[in-house]
A and B are shown apart, each in its own frame.
Chain A
Amino acid sequence: MSSAFAPAVSWPGRLLKFWRRHKWSYFFIAPSMILFLVFIGYPVLQAFLLAFQKVDLRGGAWVGLKNFQDLLASKLFWAAMRHTLVYAFFVVAAWITSSLLVASLIQPLSNRAQSLFRGAFYLPNVTSIIVISLVWIWIFEPDYGFLNYLLTVVGAPKVLWLQNPDIALWSIVLSTVLVVPGSGVVLYSAAIGSIPREYYEAAEVEGANWVQSLIHITFPLLRPTTLYLTVIYTIAGFQIFERVYIMTGGGPINATTTIVQLIFQTAFSDFNYGRASAQALILFAIIAAFSFIQFKFLSTDVEY
C-alpha cells in the first residue's frame, strides 16, 4: 500500500491488486450487466445494422437506405404513422385531463375516501391489456354488445364499432380514454397533497374561491407532474399494439394499423426483418425525442 513500493509493483501485480480491490463490485453487477449487454446492448446495435440490410431467415445483404426509402414511399407506413399519432394525441389529452380532474376532486375528501377512490381508479390498470381488450370486443359487439344496447335504449341506430373502417380507430381510442389511468390519479393526488396548505389559506383570505385556487395555485405547481405524465403517456401511446392486435388485428382494411402493429406484421407475417428494424428505429427516434423533452423539463424542477 505504501507509495515507496509502488514503482516496484509489476503489471501482473497491479492487476492482482485491482482484482482484489474490485472483484466484489464486479461480482455484484455481473449478472445484470451480462444480461444487459447480451439482450439489450447487442440487439440494439444489431437493429441498426439490420435496418440497412435485406434480411430473411437465410441471411442478410446490404441495401443501404432502401428500407427507409421504401417506408417513406409506403402509403401503409404513413397511415400507420397517422393512426398512431391520432391515438397518442387523444389518449394523452384525455388521460391528463381525466386524471387531473379526478385527483383534484378527490383532494377535499377524507383520507379514507381518498385511498378508496385511488384504489378504485388504479384497479383496472393491473389487469392485462389482452383481458381488457377481450372485454371491449364484447362491449363493442354489434348485436348483443353493451354499447349498442345503450344506443337502442335511447333510440339511436346501432354502430359497427370495430367493423366500420371509419369508426374502428375511434372505438379503440374510446376504449382507452374511458378508463381513467390510475397512475395519473395517484401521482397527481400525491403532488397536490404536497402543496403547502398555507397557499390555499392565503388565497382564501384574499377571497379566492375553490375554482380560482385550483387554477392559480394547484395547476401551476403541478407542472412537473403534468410534464412527466404527458411524456410517459405519449411514449405508451406511440407503442400501442396489444389493443389493436386483439380488437381488430389492424383492420378493417388497415384502418387501425399502428406503427408497432406494422412492425409485427412486417417481421412476423412478411418476414422482412430489415424493413421491420427500420420501422422500429423510426419509432425509437420519435420516442427518444419525447424522452429528451422529459429529461430536459424534469431537470428544471419547481421548488415549493
Chain B
Amino acid sequence: MMAQSVAGRWTIGLVLARAWRRAPHLVVLLLLTGVAVVSLFPLYWLFNTALTPASSTVKLPPDIIPTNATLDNFAEIIRVSGQGRLRLLGPENPTRMSRLLLWFINTAFIALVSTAAHVLFDSMAGYAFAKRKFPGSNVFFWMILAALMIPGQVTLVPLYLMITKMKLINSYVGVLLPGLADVIGIFLLKQFIQTLPHELEEAARMDGASELGIYGRIIMPLAAPALAVTAIFAFQRYWNAFLWPLIVLQSPDLFTLQVGLSFVHTSEFGTNYGLMMAGAALAAIPMIVFFFAFQRYFMQGLRIGAVKG
C-alpha cells in the first residue's frame, strides 16, 4: 500500500516535471499561432465577408465565421461591374461580357505574356553574362547592377511622356513593353547559370552543337529550377502590378483587376463591402492557388535573391 502510493506520487511528479519541461514549447506554439492568426486575419476577413450574404455584412456583432455562406456577392459584383468588350482579339470584337471577368482575362493575358517574355529574355542574357566572354559584358552588367538601385518612380514620368509620344497610351503594348525592362531576373539567372559546370558546353561544342542548341538544349534544362523561380516572381509582380497599368490604361475595357478594383472602390459600390470583398477575393484567389502550387519555389527564390544584393 505504502509503496504503491509513493510510486503513484512519483508518477504524478514525473508527469508534472515533463509538462514543466514542455511548457516553454507549448507557450511558443501558442504565441506563434497567435501571431499567425493576426497576420492571416486580413485574408481571412476578406473571404469571410465575401461569402457573407449582403444582408448580414453590416450588422453588429459581425459574423466571425460565414454561417450562411453564399456566392451571391460574387454574382452581384460580376453583374454590377458593367458590360464591356474584350479588346484582346481586335478592336471590333462584338462579344460583350462582365467587366470584372474582362479585367480577369486582361490581367491573366498581361501577366502571362510578360512572364513568358521575361523568362526568355532574362535567360538569354543571364546565360551570355554567365558563360560567354565578349567586349562590353562588364559595362552592361554594371549598368544592370546600377539599375537595381533606381526606384521605379524615377522613370515613371519620362516613361509616361515617352509612351504618350509613341501613341501607346491606353494600349496593352504600352503596359507590356516598359514593364519588360526589369533586370532582377537577369541577375538571378546569371548567378545560377554560373554555377553550372563548364565541361557540358565544351563537350556539346565538340560534338558540333549550334550556339542556340547549347543555350536551348544544355543550359535551359539545367537552369530549370532558377527559370521556375524567375517565372513565379515575374507572374506575381505582373498580376499584382498597379501604378503603371493605372497610368497607361484609360478605358475600363482594358483595365487589369487591380486597376479596375481601385475604380470600383471609388464608385457608388465602394461602400458595399460584401461586393468589394468578393471582387478583391477574385483578384486574390489565383495568387493564393499559385502560392500553394509553387510554395517551394517561392521560398527558394527568396534565398537566391538574398545571397548577394
Binding site for B on A (CB under 8 A): 22, 24-26, 28-29, 31-33, 35-36, 38-44, 46-47, 50, 55, 57, 98, 101-102, 105-106, 108-109, 117-124, 126-132, 134-139, 141, 143-144, 146, 149, 152-153, 175, 178-180, 183, 186-187, 190, 210, 225, 228, 235, 238-239, 241-242, 245-246, 260, 263-264, 267-268, 273, 276-277, 280-281, 283-284, 287-288, 291, 294-295, 298
Interface contact B276-A29, CB-CB below 8 Å: no
- CB-contact partner of A25 in B120, B137, B153, under 8 A: B137
- CB-contact partner of B287 in A32, A128, A190, A295, under 8 A: A128
Interface contact A127-B299, CB-CB below 8 Å: no
Q: If A263-B153, A294-B309 touch, does A41 touch B143 (CB 8 Å cutoff)?
A: yes
Q: If A22-B134, A26-B134 touch, does A31 touch B277 (CB 8 Å cutoff)?
A: no
Chain A to chain B: the 3 pairs with minimum beta-carbon distance, closest first: A128-B240, A39-B181, A46-B158
| Residues on A with beta carbons closer than 8 Å to the beta carbon of B152 | 239
Interface contact B287-A126, CB-CB below 8 Å: yes
At the interface, yes or no: B229 with Cβ under 8 Å from chain A? no
Q: If A117-B36, A149-B61 touch, does A273 touch B157 (CB 8 Å cutoff)?
A: yes
User: Shortest distance in angstroms between A167's beta carbon and chain B's nearest beta carbon?
Assistant: 19
- CB-contact partner of B262 in A106, A246, A283, under 8 A: A246
A-B residue pairs in contact (CB < 8 Å), sample of 8: A31-B121, A39-B180, A44-B154, A132-B42, A187-B302, A239-B151, A280-B154, A288-B149
A47 to B135 CA separation, bound complex (whole angstroms): 29
The interface residues of chain B, by DSSP majority, are classed as helix
User: Shortest distance in angstroms between B296's beta carbon and chain A's nearest beta carbon?
Assistant: 9
Q: If A128-B239, A246-B265 touch, does A29 touch B306 (CB 8 Å cutoff)?
A: no
Interface contact B302-A139, CB-CB below 8 Å: no
Interface contact B150-A22, CB-CB below 8 Å: no
A176 to B161 CA separation, bound complex (whole angstroms): 33
A280 to B284 CA separation, bound complex (whole angstroms): 30
Per-position 1/0 for B39-58, Cβ under 8 A of A: 11111011001000000011
At the interface, yes or no: B172 with Cβ under 8 Å from chain A? no
Interface contact B38-A47, CB-CB below 8 Å: no
User: Shortest distance in angstroms between B28's beta carbon and chain A's nearest beta carbon?
Assistant: 5
Q: Which residue of B lies closest to A289 (CB)?
A: B149
- CB-contact partner of B276 in A25, A134, A139, A242, under 8 A: A134
